[in-house]
């Protein structure tokens, strides 16, 4: 499709990546002269006749999140084959997943200060969305993007509108989910209805991964992973991160609770509890946390 022009407006360039729902291209907006990221949804996804209207409604609701770290969506359309595409803000940099993998290759981990600095805008964006009744449903390191310093730096939360509209089907050990199952809330594996607390769990799992160098639960199969996520003891952090205060284990147990009623009820609750724990840590990074961050009240 490189070189083609969609709707007389978007001239496609190189492929930037692909995932469970589609392929992303660099494209030029011929009306404005700016570059955008154009995501072409797979045909089996686009075949839903109600999808365009649902995406439009979602874009209208997401307009209230512009100015946060949520990636901005510009337009929707269909290509000559009838597949739906989404034009969105073009980002240069790397995913949080790639950033963590680079650190882990050298046996390194994010410091408490760097983690709080990187993810604070994501916590704020999720809180704003939840207050508006919008749930992401697919929070994971691959959907967080670190913008290169040459483009202004910062972090973005990707695929917010798509995750909400495309939905999040109940998972079972026999039904492999799109994306990474390591950040899926226990209630999704059990086939229960989902609310914003599924995002709370996923965000807690992202934090755990960044601090520990691995996802909170592992399994040789989806059945094993499902069993671990829903029934295994909650994982600990203090033994592998002596720079953190011992309360980090209680934080992880609550953030990753199998019962959503036992979990942090909201993103700010989870985030402020984490800041409090980080303030009680040891070393230069904890010192910087105490100097930089403030807790309400």
Burial of 203 (0-12, 13-18, 19+ CB in 10 A): buried
Q: How many angstroms from the chain centroid is the CA of residue 172?
A: 21
Query: Which pairing describes strands 84-89 and 93-95: parallel, antiparallel, or unpaired?
Result: unpaired
Distance CA(131)–CA(127), nearest Å, equals 6
Is 39 annotated to bind a ligand? Reply is yes
Phi, psi of 104 (to 5 degrees): -70, -25
Spatial CB neighbours of 71, under 8 Å, sequence gap ≥ 6: 88, 89, 91, 145, 156, 157, 158, 159, 160
Which residues are part of the catalytic machinery? 138
3 state SS of 176: coil
Residue 100 near residue 209 (C-beta atoms within 8 A): yes
3 state SS of 250: helix
Distance CA(275)–CA(238), nearest Å, equals 15
Annotated binding residues for ATP: 39
Annotated binding residues: 39
């Amino acid at each position: 499709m490189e070189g083609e022009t969609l709707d007389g407006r978007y001239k496609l360039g190189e492929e930037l990546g692909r995932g469970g729902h589609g392929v992303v291209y660099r494209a030029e907006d011929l009306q404005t002269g700016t570059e955008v990221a154009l995501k072409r949804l797979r045909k089996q996804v686009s075949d839903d006749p109600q999808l365009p209207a649902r995406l439009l409604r979602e874009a209208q609701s997401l307009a209230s999140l512009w100015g946060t770290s949520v990636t901005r969506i510009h337009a929707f359309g269909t290509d000559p084959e009838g597949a739906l595409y989404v034009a969105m803000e073009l980002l240069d940099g790397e995913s949080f997943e790639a950033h963590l993998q680079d650190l882990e290759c050298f046996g390194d981990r994010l410091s408490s200060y760097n983690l709080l600095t990187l993810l604070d805008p994501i916590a704020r964006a999720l809180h704003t969305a939840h207050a508006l009744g919008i749930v992401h449903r697919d929070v994971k390191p691959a959907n967080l993007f670190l913008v290169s310093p040459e483009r202004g730096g910062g972090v973005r939360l990707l695929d917010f509108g798509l995750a909400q509209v495309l939905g999040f089907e109940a998972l079972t050990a026999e039904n492999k989910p799109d994306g990474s199952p390591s950040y899926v809330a226990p209630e999704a594996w059990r086939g229960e209805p989902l609310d914003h607390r599924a995002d709370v769990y996923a965000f807690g799992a992202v934090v755990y991964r960044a601090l520990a160098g691995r996802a909170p639960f592992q399994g040789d199969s989806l059945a094993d992973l499902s069993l671990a996520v829903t029934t295994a003891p909650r994982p600990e952090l203090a033994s592998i991160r002596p720079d953190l205060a011992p309360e980090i284990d209680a934080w992880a147990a609550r953030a990753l609770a199998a019962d959503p009623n036992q979990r942090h009820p909201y993103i700010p609750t989870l985030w402020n509890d984490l800041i409090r724990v980080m303030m009680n840590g040891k070393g230069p990074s904890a010192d910087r946390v105490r100097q930089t961050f403030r807790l309400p009240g």
